[in-house]
Chain A
């Protein structure tokens, strides 16, 4: 379904090798920081691809799962005084639960309505996070709203190198895991659902159940990226729930190639690193992403990796193809 296992692992290994050596080339802290955020963002986008690319569900509220994780970390450590590890575990549980709920609701809905529901839920979470009155603790400071809530980390402020390598490791592991899942039986069934729900149902697929499962996996991984982000940035802000962030997941995935996992991950990483590294303002960046999205959807709907994959498949369409 994707590139052959051997070539994908090879490419991943090469890429990871390069990234491992990059800090030694003397990058400044700003760039290391940008790349660390980029790794986490790429993992987040990869998680979207599970439910939005492989399973083909139009999820426009993926930031809901990400933000749930960051806010859980922040609230539990700063307000409730939990140790970070416990808060992280709770954050994963909560984001997965949110995903299970969304997945259940999406079971009965058709594509455009799943898009609307996820969009509305994401915006609801964003508004709640933005509302200052919700998160004012007793004490001198008022938390919440635009400024967000700090995360009480056990290690003070981390060194840029630790963040960099930590995030890279996380990206590598999660991408490897996601490609494994995409190639599994579940991945095959998700691809079937994405292609034709009707045919899948007529093949005995319990579509509602598998949709929920896709959301669950995607939500768990997005939550993990959120936990990583909370640890890296040390703060949960309302932007973690924003429509712009949800939009970026779908956009990078579309550009990279929905359903390929590696495509979205690389697209997110490269575009983020390039644009933010070059110092382009946030509004201009998002505008350019939107423009790129429109062009890709119109002219290359399969995205970069997707178009490549189609070419590979077409070459394989000979009756005596080698056994896979």
Chain B
């Protein structure tokens, strides 16, 4: 029986990693201006890469993160360049297409690794405080996520981040100033996908790895982005951590199923109570 504090701590670690996924989704929403339903699949990709490496005896998280980022970035750029960019202005194609990619990955994962959960050992604890175990994955997740998120925030506010911000806010100006908007779009997609895959590697020791494991992070990050908007990295972080805690607590108090159900309920409520959501960023005719 886990002490409640353990559940909270693990929730904090999980949530901070979810913030990474959510930030990636927010970037895609802001720069590529699409609702990306394949985002969860990249998370799963990271987790499965970590698993595949561990079966080969490689358990260094840095190696896993690096490999996952490279693969996910490549896939993301490919997907962004060959599919997302050309069909951006058709909401149906984007929604169903990104969902299609997610399902394609789920089926491929099932064929490669089977439908049953697999796992990576959580490893020896880093520290034990008052009976609460601080696991290695947890500490690394928290540190890595915070660092990456800070880096993203700094980047966006710096000179180098200006092109990205410009595309997000004033699309027409960006084009007329001679920026290669399409390129920045697919690079952003690649980067965000890599971030999601990194999160997958970080969280892999903490969870059971299944083909459909990406659905929960997808819904969760959608909630975060819809509720807190795309601008505010701090809000994204806090809300993601909050949801991570909530999700962990409900999984502990009731059953793991309930965390997915409660997330789904939250997003339904959010969509019904806040229909204006992010309409300003959708391409197509303005309303």
With contact pairs A111-B95, A284-B107 given, residues A116 and B285 touching in the complex (Cβ less than 8 Å) = no
Query: Is B267's CB under 8 angstroms from A116's CB?
Result: yes
Digitize B65-108: 1 where CB-to-A-CB distance is under 8 Å, 0 elsewhere: 00000000000000000110011001111111101110110011
Task: Kindly specify which of A23-31, A157-165, A225-233, A292-300 makes contact with the partner chain.
Answer: A292-300
A-B contact pairs, 24 of them (CB 8 A): A56-B92, A58-B92, A58-B95, A105-B271, A111-B91, A111-B92, A112-B91, A112-B94, A112-B95, A113-B277, A115-B96, A116-B35, A116-B271, A117-B267, A130-B257, A197-B287, A198-B285, A247-B103, A254-B92, A283-B107, A286-B107, A287-B107, A294-B101, A301-B90
Query: Is B95's CB under 8 angstroms from A291's CB?
Result: no
Query: Is A298's CB under 8 angstroms from B96's CB?
Result: no
Query: Is A127's CB under 8 angstroms from B261's CB?
Result: yes
Residue of B at shortest CB range from A130?
Answer: B257
From B93, B111, B215, contact of A287 by CB (8 A): B111
Digitize A167-211: 1 where CB-to-B-CB distance is under 8 Å, 0 elsewhere: 000000000000000000000000000001110000000000000
Query: Is B100's CB under 8 angstroms from A290's CB?
Result: yes
Residue of A at shortest CB range from B281?
Answer: A112
From A115, A123, A197, contact of B215 by CB (8 A): A123
B282 within 8 A of A: yes
Residue of A at shortest CB range from B82?
Answer: A298
Count of chain A residues near B, Cβ 8 A: 44
A83 within 8 A of B: no
Digitize A108-133: 1 where CB-to-B-CB distance is under 8 Å, 0 elsewhere: 11111101110111011001101100
Query: Is A120's CB under 8 angstroms from B275's CB?
Result: no
Complex-state Cα separation, A254 to B94, whole angstroms: 12
Query: Is B96's CB under 8 angstroms from A297's CB?
Result: yes
- Chain A contacts of B96 at CB under 8 A? 58, 60, 115, 247, 250-251, 254, 293, 297
What 20 additional pairs, Cβ within 8 angstroms, besides A115-B96, A131-B257, A247-B96? Answer: A58-B92, A105-B272, A115-B35, A115-B95, A116-B222, A117-B267, A119-B99, A121-B268, A123-B260, A127-B264, A197-B287, A243-B215, A244-B103, A247-B103, A250-B99, A290-B101, A290-B107, A294-B97, A294-B100, A301-B90
- Chain B contacts of A56 at CB under 8 A? 92
Chain B interface extent, by class: 35 or more
Query: Is B257's CB under 8 angstroms from A127's CB?
Result: yes
- Chain B contacts of A110 at CB under 8 A? 275, 279, 282, 287
Query: Is B95's CB under 8 angstroms from A283's CB?
Result: no
- Chain A contacts of B275 at CB under 8 A? 108-110, 113
Q: How far is the CB of B118 from chain A (nearest CB, A)?
A: 16
Q: How far is the CB of A143 from chain B (nearest CB, A)?
A: 17
Query: Is A287's CB under 8 angstroms from B257's CB?
Result: no
B6 within 8 A of A: no
From B115, B215, B265, B282, contact of A112 by CB (8 A): B282
Nearest 5 Cβ contacts at the A-B interface = A290-B104, A287-B107, A111-B91, A115-B95, A297-B93
From B90, B92, B268, contact of A117 by CB (8 A): B268
